[in-house]
Amino acid sequence: MAGATAGRPAQQEKQTRQAGRAARRPGPEEARQATVEGRDPLAGVRAPGDPPVDVYLTGTVFLDIIFTGLDSAPVRGTESWARGMGSSPGGVANMATALARLGLRTSLAAAFGDDMYGEYCWETLERGEGIDLSLSRTVPGWHSPVTVSMAYEGERTMVSHGHEAPAPEVLPGPPRARSCVASLSPGRPQAWVAEAARAGSLVFADTGWDETGAWDLAALPDLAHCEAFLPNAAEAMRYTRTGCPRAAARALTATVPLAVVTMGAEGAYAADGRTGETAEVPAILVEALDTTGAGDVFMAGFVTGTLAGWPLADRLALAGLTAALSVQEFGGSLSAPGWGEVAAWWQRVREVTPADGPLGAALDRYAFLSGLLPGTTRPWPLRRAVPTLGFRTRP
């Protein structure tokens, strides 16, 4: 019998693996309940007839391989050794995981590779994080995109490889959702963004570096359908032709109702074009191990606070805090914190910080957490990046 199993064709072996995976998968809601740490940030605003999904997003899932503990950038013609290594789902999985770990009902539409990397990413996101993948698909014969990230001196260098997934025969539309997260690229409008906004979803958007060098907001037509835009300082200043990130945020409110500009070690600044309100929260200074996915975690914190109806400054504070917690772990998507980590941080800093000193006054910015976190528990540690995949089970 053992010899027959060993000699099975590869395709039959793969089908057996996939059948076993399907048989042991919980439903999305069952997995989500097992993953969320006893905290529903939207409990106070949920009502009968609400959309079943809190956040919808779509994009490409990568397999990330992260090297840490490098003393310097790799030097041409030499070999560098890293003291740490981790593998985790990457790409759009960074955002999806960060949202799910904060208790939001998250739906992801993505293509997954027809290989062990793709299988690992699917298992991790659906079973491990409780993300709804009913709109996702595995593409036969298509291999997973891969990114190798090297973290050193608080920064990272990445090398990626992949091919665009074949388009599905039927393109699924966005589900009924409270909100959506979109990554905008100049000159590449996405029809689903307008469709989601027309259906009542709040659309939160970020963008990347404009390789064309034009930095023209007209090349981002989907901003017209967005509730909030969250560029970094360099991007915001180039798009608005300003020399100050705060001025850039205010200028962006002529295009989008809410602009949030991240400023690295200076924190973040937000401007609400509807009310004229502005808010600024300084960064929490930490020793960064790996900054991969920190911007996605910031977005997830801000989306969570917005959907919960929090004041603007509190939304910025949670976003900055969760991003700071994430960079102290490595592994991109799996470095995202949950409410257990937020609660542990708040308890720890209150214990070690004198209330009557300048640091105590700075911590007042996070006092709103006290009313949110009592009773938050974490029955088991969150999943983190693993050095490699597919360890064989030994008898």
Q: Which residue has the higher pLDDT, 114 or 18?
A: 114
Give the pLDDT band (50/70/90) at residue 224: very high
Same domain, 260 and 346: no
Residue 43 pLDDT: 95
Report the percentage of the chain scoring pLDDT > 90: 63
* 395 found inside a domain: no
* 294 found inside a domain: yes
Res. 221: pLDDT tops 60: yes
CATH of the domain at 45: 3.40.1190.20
Same domain, 346 and 217: no
DSSP-assigned beta bridge partners for residue 110: 59
- Torsions phi, psi for 328 (to 5 deg): -85, -5
Give the pLDDT band (50/70/90) at residue 9: very low
Same domain, 152 and 244: yes
Same domain, 264 and 363: no
Same domain, 365 and 314: no
Of 317, 337, 357, the one marking the end of a domain is: 337
Same domain, 123 and 147: yes
Segments forming the whole domain that contains residue 221? 26-74+82-160+174-337
Lowest model confidence (mean pLDDT) among 294-303, 311-320, 369-378: 369-378
Same domain, 208 and 301: yes
CA angle, 144 then 291 then 137, to 5°: 25
Res. 307: pLDDT tops 60: yes
Residue with tokens 């020793």: 287
* 360 found inside a domain: yes
Of 337, 364, 387, the one marking the end of a domain is: 337
CA–CA distance, 144 with 163 (Å, rounded to integer) = 8
* 381 found inside a domain: no
| Rg of the Cα atoms in the chain | 21
Residue 6 pLDDT: 35
* 59 found inside a domain: yes
Residue 143 corresponds to which tokens in the numbers above? 């291999």
Same domain, 144 and 237: yes
Residue 176 pLDDT: 97
Same domain, 314 and 342: no
Same domain, 221 and 351: no
* 64 found inside a domain: yes
Of 337, 363, 390, the one marking the end of a domain is: 337
Task: Evaluate whether 377 touches 37 at the Cβ level (below 8 Å).
Answer: yes
Q: For the chain, how many structural domains are there in total?
A: 2
Same domain, 63 and 118: yes
Give the pLDDT band (50/70/90) at residue 389: confident
* 167 found inside a domain: no
Same domain, 328 and 348: no
CA–CA distance, 325 with 260 (Å, rounded to integer) = 20
Dihedral of alpha carbons 366, 370, 372, 373, sign: positive
* 20 found inside a domain: no
